[in-house]
Amino acid sequence: MKPSLQVRYSLAVVFILTAVVGLMGIAHLYGFRSLISASTLATAKTVIETIYQEEKKQGENLAWFLARILMDPVSRSRAPAIDGLIAAALDQPGVVYVVVHDAEGRVINRAGSWSKRAPDRDAIPGTGPREKAGDSPPAQIAQALSVGKIVSRVDGLTFHITAPIMGSGRPLGTVTVGTSLQATKTDVAKFGGYMDAVATSSMRYFLVLYIGIAMMIVVIGLGIGIVMVQDMARPIRALGRYMRRIGTGSYDEPPPFERSDELGDLARELGRMAQNLKKVAQVSRLATLGELAVGVAHELNQPLNTIRLAADNVLLSRRSGGGDSDFTESKLRLISEQAANMGDRIQRMCVVGRAEGGRTMIDARESVRDAVSLLASRFEDEGIEMSIDLPDDAALVLGRRNELAQVLINLIANARDAVLEAAQARGDPSDASRGHIWIRIELRPEEVIIEVADNGNGIDPDLVERIFDPFFTTKEVTKGTGLGLSISLGIVDAMGGRLGAANKDGGAAFTVHLPKADGAA
Ligand code: ADP
């Protein structure tokens, strides 16, 4: 079973909202992530630069200070004092080596380890393999001696800072301090970790915020969607109920609402259609009555002939002076019986033709008799046999006697058409002598079942679904209106019953199931 319009539209609204919010979220999330990465990178760069400059400044300060206090020991070549000073300098945090050179670039003194931290030994002042007497001093030492200013550079994770030792305005030598950037690296790594943690928690916060907002949008959207869909579904349901009532013959009911939109147009058109259907139903009813009138005229002709003959007999015998009172009485009784018979038939025709008021408890057997009495003699002439099987007990149902009779007339007339068509198919349209119609009523504990079966050619299985549709007919235009079964379905529906069709023993069988009315009610 297909889900209702309401469910389908609600799902569509949820789907569209989720898709839009999802796409927006992904775009935002992507943007937010890039922003965080960029700001993390920028911050990390600034921090590293600051730390680097700080390290450099500290190293330069230390080198400068050492150069100042080494001036005296170097100028006087006091090796123990130099040793003491550079050993003290080595104790400073981050300092890995200290080397003192003389004005010619020769090593005077040195302390600390550099081999591991200085892969490019050649580049480290005073540590290269060329460090022999007479070798030209390493470039950095030579530069510091010649410019008389601090010279520094970074090599791997080590800062090499060379400060000239000045005495009386000329360089006496240099002191080079190597400081390790290992601690800085660790700090930067720690900082990076911290920034990562900040980014991750920001992302998490953003994600939770986003999911919360997305859910809010979906819920609000869904609410609005449901209200909108309800606004559409309600009038459509009302129209459905209205159409069902039209289907059961309530043609005069006004449309369920007035609106200026398309649904209002639809309701107005349905109202107009109901009025047209009313006319068509009246025409169809008149057509049924017209057809019945032929049968009834034919039927009344016979008793009328009998009456005329009986009356003529009495007249003749009176004129000829004969005819005893018994003879006269028997003829008069015959006239009375025939007249009563005619009266009964006319009465039944009136019942079928009359527009009755409200629903009452009726005996379905009477409706069967009404229908049969109006059709029987004509069928007899056409050679169609009718078998009627009615229970002894009343078959009480709630409804209108004429309406139920109309249903049965439709079903019986269709059965007649079916057996005549079968005769035609056999090649002899005038011979319907093998045509048979069975009408029976079965009483069940809860319901009354009326069956009209025939031995025509049955219903084409491909058409079974459509035969109850208004205006569906397989008959010639002059013979069929296609309204008999749809009107019958409407009447049976309104009585709370159901009308079914099936093929049985080669022919067709239509069954009317009606809820049994409580006799005591
Ligand atoms: P109509 O009789 O004017 O065609 P109905 O609504 O009474 O309209 O019937 C619709 C169609 O149902 C018929 O045209 C016919 O094809 C099919 N039908 C009805 N009764 C029978 C039947 N007893 N046997 C076979 N087909 C039938």
Clarify whether residues 11 and 79 are in a common domain: yes
Highest mean pLDDT of the ranges 232-236, 305-309, 387-391: 387-391
Cα–Cα distance measured from residue 294 to residue 326, given in angstroms and rounded to the nearest whole number: 37
Ligand 1 atom index nearest CA of 452: 23
Q: What is the distance in A from the centroid of ligand 1 to the CA of 356? A: 26
- Atom index in ligand 1 nearest the CA of residue 484 equals 7
Instruction: Say whether both 269 and 348 belong to one domain.
Output: yes
Tell me whether residue 289 is in a domain: yes
Provide φ and ψ at 174, rounded to 5°: -140, 155
**258 and 214 part of one domain:** no
Q: Does residue 292 fall inside a structural domain?
A: yes
Report whether pLDDT(120) > 50. no
289 CA to centre of ligand 1 in angstroms? 18
Give the Cα separation of 66 and 57 in Å (integer): 14
If you ran DSSP here, which 8-state letter would residue 516 be given?
B
**Res. 428: pLDDT tops 80:** no
Task: Give domain status of residue 299, yes or no.
Answer: yes
Average pLDDT over all residues of the chain: 82
Same domain, 25 and 66: yes
Based on the fold, state whether residues 404 and 514 are members of the same structural domain.
yes
Strand, coil or helix: 438: strand
Is residue 460 assigned to a domain?
Answer: yes
Ligand 1 centroid – CA 350 distance (Å)? 26
Q: Which atom of ligand 1 is nearest to the CA of 510?
A: 23
Q: In 3-state terms, what secondary structure has residue 229?
A: helix
Q: Which residue has the higher pLDDT, 429 or 310?
A: 310
CA separation for the pair 382, 423 (Å, rounded) = 11
Regarding whether 362 and 339 lie in a shared domain, the answer is: no
What CATH number is given to the structural domain containing 51? Answer: 3.30.450.20
Q: How far apart are CA 206 and CA 209, in angstroms?
A: 5
Q: Ligand 1 centre and the CA of 307: distance in Å?
A: 39
Q: What is the CATH number of the domain that holds 283?
A: 1.10.287.130
pLDDT band at 366 (very low <50, low <70, confident <90, very high): very high
Position 116 confidence tier, pLDDT thresholds 50, 70, 90 = very low
Q: Is residue 115 part of a domain?
A: yes
Ligand 1 centroid–CA 507 distance in Å is 12
Q: Residue 123 pLDDT more than 70?
A: no
pLDDT for residue 42: 82
| Average pLDDT score over residue span 384-394 | 94
**Confidence label for 300 from pLDDT (cuts 50, 70 and 90):** confident
Domain end, chosen from 326, 355, 384, is at 355
Residue 228 within any structural domain of the chain: yes
Single-letter amino acid, residue 378: R
- Rounded Cα–Cα distance for residues 418 and 454 (Å): 8
Judgement on whether residues 369 and 309 belong to the same structural domain of the protein: no
**How far, in Å, from the CA of 465 to the mean position of ligand 1?**
12
Nearest residue (CA) to ligand 1, atom 19: 414
Q: Answer with the one of 247, 263, 281 that is the final residue of a domain.
A: 247
Closest to 358 measured CA to CA, from 406, 306, 398? 398
**Cα(432) to centroid(ligand 1), Å:** 18
pLDDT tens digits, 407-427: 999 999 999 999 999 888 877
* Ligand 1 atom at shortest distance from the alpha carbon of 472: 10
- The answer, yes or no, to whether residue 363 has pLDDT greater than 90, is yes
CATH code of the domain covering residue 478: 3.30.565.10
Write the pLDDT tens digit of every residue in 63-107: 999 999 988 888 888 888 888 888 888 888 888 888 888 888 888
The structural domain count of the chain equals 3
pLDDT tens, residue by residue, 211-238: 888 888 878 877 887 888 788 888 888 9
Name the CA radius of gyration of the chain, rounded: 58
Centroid of ligand 1 to alpha carbon of 447 (angstroms): 25
By DSSP bridging, strand 396-399 and strand 158-167 are: unpaired
Residues 380 and 350 in one domain: no
Q: Is the pLDDT of residue 296 over 80?
A: no
Does residue 83 sit in the same domain as residue 159? Answer: yes
Tokens of 232: 């559409």
CA angle 318, 323, 325 (to 5 degrees): 105
Rounded distance, CA 102 to CA 86, Å?
Answer: 15
pLDDT for 92: 86
Residue 229 domain boundaries: 1-120+134-247
Distance (Å, whole) CA 375 – CA 417: 13
At residue 499, the pLDDT reads 95
Q: Is residue 129 part of a domain?
A: no
Domain boundary among 247, 277, 309: 247
Percent of the chain, pLDDT > 70? 87
Answer whether residue 134 shows pLDDT above 70: no
Q: Which tokens go with 41?
A: 């990178």
- pLDDT category at 292 given cuts 50, 70, 90 is low
What is the number of the ligand 1 atom nearest to the C-alpha of 486? 6
Give the confidence band of 1 by pLDDT, cuts at 50, 70, 90. low
Q: Do 93 and 193 share a domain, yes or no?
A: yes
269 pLDDT exceeds 80?
Answer: yes
Ranges assigned E (strand) in 140-251: 151-155, 158-167, 170-180
Which residue ranges have their beta carbon within 6 Å of ligand 1? 410, 414-415, 418, 454, 456, 458-459, 467, 472-475, 480-486, 508
Query: Residue 33: which pLDDT band, with cuts at 50, 70 and 90?
Result: confident
Whether residues 324 and 367 share a domain: the answer is: no
pLDDT 10s digits, 488-515: 898 898 899 999 999 998 899 999 999 9
pTM: 0.49
Residue bearing the CA closest to ligand 1, atom 7? 484
State the closest ligand 1 atom to the C-alpha of 456, by its place in the atom list counted from 1.
Answer: 24
Same domain, 174 and 238: yes
What's the rounded mean pLDDT across residues 250-274?
88
Place of tokens 């059965």: 415
Look at residue 144 and tell me whether its pLDDT is greater than 50.
Answer: yes
Asked whether residue 424 is domain-assigned, the answer is yes
b/e burial code for range 348-367 (CB count within 10 A of at least 16 → b): bbebbbeeeeebeebbbbbb
